Amino acid sequence: MQRLAKKWRRSRTHIGFVPTMGYLHEGHLSLVRAARQRVGQSGKVVVSVYVNPTQFGPQEDLSRYPRDLKRDLKFCRAEGVDIVFAPGDAEMYPVKANGNYSTYVVEEKLSQGMEGASRPGHFRGVTTVVAKLFNLVRPDVAVFGAKDFQQAAVVKRMVRDLNFPVKIIVAPIVREPDGVAMSSRNKYLAGDLRPQATVLRRSIKAVRQTVAAAKQPVPATKLRAIVGQVIKTAPAARLDYVEFFDSETLSPMTKVLRGMHMALAVFIGKTRLIDNGQL
């Protein structure tokens, strides 16, 4: 992959990159289209498919995370992807098994709250693997989805702070007809669990309506109570966190105004889903 990327760069071919963990859906494909739009038909679009173990905690779903490379390749072929880069752990972390791997990339500010607090070590794994993938694919532009809002912010900060020559594009969330954000983990939602996943989007809408109707800043405690009431309408739902924050700094806000952002994580049964939206 790296030799091929260097060859492209020598010929001044622009490279667009979409890093994924596979089990692709329409949300991923929208990122592919955004990458193609950026580099044009004369450029190259690379999609990586790699379930990165360093961003999963010991009790998380690494072993059962959905995988179907044959299906992913079919989707990528239909979208005109030039290269699907699907390495294994032995290629990405060749000396980790014998204890000799000791270098990680750590962002120390934007990664502390929300997903960072709920999933310790998660963002260290994300920034490390993204840095490695950038060094392998050598992209001019990389496209991330807005569903993982904090992740995109952390990657943008890493790129800025470490001088990666990569333009980061954050593409809009793609949703199912009922408003549920598209996610590979939606596959886990069987039977009556799937309709209950709408509580995330409904929580965002309820908060947005409250903030829009208010004539002054709304206390975050009041908004959390509103989210709690929405979550209770789904018997299998359990709130992990909800946060209200400045969309640039990710700083938590105790008083919430229009234009600020919210993000939440909710367990639907055993499946953990995330969503976010501007208020």
Report, as residue numbers or ranges, the catalytic residues.
28
Is residue 158 within 8 Å of residue 107, measured between CB atoms?
Answer: yes
Q: How far apart are CA 35 and CA 18, in angstroms?
A: 7
Q: How far apart are CA 67 and CA 51, in angstroms?
A: 8
